[in-house]
Amino acid sequence: MQNFIDRASNLPVINGAAKIKSDNLPLGYILDPSNPLVSNSIDAVKNNFLTGIRCVPLSLEQVNTYMAASSLLHSLDGWVYLSHAVESLLKGDNGISIHLAYYAELRASMSFLASEGIGIFDHQHIHVDSSNLIAQDPGVRYYNRQRQRYEYKRVGTHIMVWEAIEKWSTSNVKPINSEILKVFSVNGKTFEEWVNAFPYSGTVTGTNVIKQWMKDWNFDVNFFTDDRRMRNEVSYRPQRLNINPPTYTVNEVIKELSSYWDILEPYQTNKFQLLDKHLLRILLQKMYTNLSPTIKTNNSLEEIIVDTLNNLGETHNPSIIDFLKDVHGTHKIFTEAQNKALDPITNSLNPLSVIARATLMLRISTGNTSLIFKNAGVDKSDLSDLWESYGVENGFWNAGSTPNDFTELWDDIKDHIEDVTSWAISKSPDLSLFQIYDDGAIPNSFNYFKQFHRACLWGI
């Protein structure tokens, strides 16, 4: 499995995105309708690996364009799942919220893997490599107790996604051809530039930190893979057999979700400026922690940050220095993302924690997909038909009214977020959902408050 992951490449996916622009978009579709992967992708992959006359081979172009399209569409779907998870939580449906947030996280991971040249198709998984070869996964190695030997077996989507993410994150060769450090930027500089400017360290350390984030933010994919019973409990069993008081009041949920909104706010040309600033602080502090004791004795964190700014040619802005060296300013979304404990009453994960991890993983998948299409020469305007249908279907705008700048989607809702948050804080700690619905003005703002999938549009 490790070799299968290591050999996958994003170069064919970039070629696929370029093909989508040159051949498909002018005809009004993302994928050629004759592509077998459009109507039944699982059978199409299976038939590709049959032998003899039963084999129905897939062309490299068909696979590459599908990989590129699925990296984008999985990400869009993931943000939709996230919004529905938020809506369910605000309605008091914790189990459904966890279920949907888990699928948001899963789709984010599938998007990332597709952008890396790895396609997940139930029990048939494939990759494309830099030599333009399509290969099938070998299966997961396990110990057969009855036969007393190690064997390989094909696994489904949930298990394979975690296996692929885990192998990618621990790979000695990844990220080859991956631009994971270019996904994030602060002050117009990518994390690749920040890492290269960091004294005494290099890209390997920086990528290792981000690879650990990948594993941390896929905790739920791994958790529910390891405990299928609990996943089924959330997905298929009645949720109110035990009547327990809610873990959080509605006020607390709104306040925390409002902080998630704050960190997703776009700023000028940076799609997730504040979120990336927090990530940069975590990254640089972790890189500093990994330095040798001798270096840290002779150089404080602040001195290392100043040296990094010097190497970047950046001015010594006191506010950015103070922000990056602050070891106590961790945003709530990162604190919540690290919470992996089970509630002692409900024996379930905290839905806010699953939502936090899904949001952070969607940040990676959205950025990685954006880079794939950018490197292929695909401009946002080239996908105008997709944005039009997505915005209309989700009620972001009326037909024919697609905004030229998707940061306007933030302008449309920021006042609603502030209204809901300030109103909730002003109420008693036991604010109820009935009070929200009963208020003459808040229900309208409440509808906007739940629309986290707006962020994918300014993030792509």
Domain range enclosing 184: 2-459
Q: Within 13 Å of residue 249, how many CA atoms lie on the same side as its CB?
A: 13
The pTM score is 0.93
Return the higher-pLDDT residue of 94 and 227.
94
Return the higher-pLDDT residue of 359 and 329.
359
Residue 196 pLDDT: 92
Q: Which amino acid is at 447?
A: N
**Measured in Å, how far apart are the chain's first and last C-alpha atoms?**
31
Residue-wise pLDDT for 265-293, tens only, equals 998 777 899 999 999 999 999 999 999 99
Cβ partners under 8 Å of residue 401, min gap 6: none
CA separation, residue 296 to residues 204, 208, 310, 343 (Å): 19, 20, 18, 39
Q: Taking 70 as the threshold, does the pLDDT of residue 112 lie above it?
A: yes
Q: Which amino acid is at 53?
A: I
Give CA–CA dist 195/192, Å, rounded.
5
DSSP string for 117-170: TEE--TT--EEEBTT--EEE---EEEEETTTTEEEEE---HHHHHHHHHHHHHH
Residue 429 pLDDT: 75
Phi, psi of 236, deg, nearest 5: -120, -15
Residue 153 pLDDT: 86
Give CA–CA dist 298/309, Å, rounded.
18
Give CA–CA dist 369/382, Å, rounded.
15
Region 326-341 average pLDDT: 92
Region 39-48 average pLDDT: 93
Region 294-309 average pLDDT: 95
Residue 275 pLDDT: 97
Dihedral of alpha carbons 71, 76, 79, 85, sign: negative
In total, how many domains does the chain have? 1
Region 236-258 average pLDDT: 77
Give CA–CA dist 386/369, Å, rounded.
15
Whole-number average pLDDT of the chain:
91
Q: Taking 90 as the threshold, does the pLDDT of residue 260 lie above it?
A: yes
What confidence category does residue 76 fall into, taking pLDDT thresholds of 50, 70 and 90?
very high
- Quote the DSSP letter at residue 27: G
Q: Taking 60 as the threshold, does the pLDDT of residue 227 lie above it?
A: no
Give CA–CA dist 279/270, Å, rounded.
14
Residue 315 pLDDT: 87
Radius of gyration of the chain (CA): 23
Residue 220 contacts residue 105 (beta carbons within 8 Å): yes
Residue-wise pLDDT for 157-197, tens only, equals 999 999 999 999 999 888 765 689 999 999 999 999 999 99
Residue 244 pLDDT: 64
